[in-house]
Amino acid sequence: MARYATSDIHGCLLTLRHLVEEELQLTPTDELYVLGDYINKGPDSKGVLDYFMGLQARGYRVVCLRGNHEQELIDAARKRWRLAWLGRLSRQATLRSFGVHRAAAIPEAYIQWLESLPYEWQLPDFQLVHAGYDFSLPPEQMHQDLHTMLNTKKYVLDASRLEGRRLLHGHVPTHVAQVKKLVAKRAGAVVLDTGCVFRHNAELRHLAALNLDTWELTLVENREPPYPIGRK
């Protein structure tokens, strides 16, 4: 059995499948933890959700966490408009993948699956979350601050709050070289978002997976056909 973590697929289904099937060669006895942001920006958001839902249905041990992009789609589908739902290009790509013109028309099964996703996951040696925590809060509040857990781009790590666990998260596109450095020194906090969807950026445009037992980092370069990339 092997344990892996990855993050921030953003609709890049072909890249994801190559990572899981060819590089990791995932088996039903392995564990795969995915740290959010399966949708938006890239070309096939629906395909990515179908893939993860299909793996789970076939008995694969895949744990998917909620990211800010999943939350934004839930809010749009449920007509809660406290946040603007992305930019035009990213929004159109997502809706196009579902064959609909508005978020409320996305089939209910997908929205319910997204609503079922946990915000965090605890392993004996790792704490998993999409973005991070506000370590200045009291411990019980830190794990209830959902906005920070989904959206923060900066935090001051307090390792004592993690009780010996290392923090793994995504959300912040980080140059491959920097992620390699964090992994090499087995840092107390490691970001796994290597900006797969940003296919024109040579320092990003990779999907990363970390073996949680050996600390081997696997990187797959974006394999999608050309697509427009929307800006925030």
What range defines the domain where residue 60 resides?
3-221
The model's pTM: 0.96
Which pLDDT value is given to residue 87?
A: 75
Looking at residue 157, which CATH number applies to its domain? 3.60.21.10
Which pLDDT value is given to residue 83?
A: 53
Name 219's bridge partners. 208
Which tokens go with 220? 């797959």
Is 229 inside a domain boundary?
no
Which pLDDT value is given to residue 91?
A: 84
Is 211 inside a domain boundary?
yes
CB neighbours of residue 50 within 10 Å: 14
Which pLDDT value is given to residue 232?
A: 39
Domain count, the chain: 1
Alpha carbon 148 to its chain's center: 15
Is 20 inside a domain boundary?
yes
Is 230 inside a domain boundary?
no
Which tokens go with 9? 């697929």
Which pLDDT value is given to residue 90?
A: 82
* pLDDT mean by block of 10 residues, the chain; 232 residues: 98 98 98 98 97 98 98 91 68 93 95 98 98 96 98 97 97 98 98 97 97 98 90 44
* Dihedral sign from CA coordinates of 125, 131, 132, 133: negative
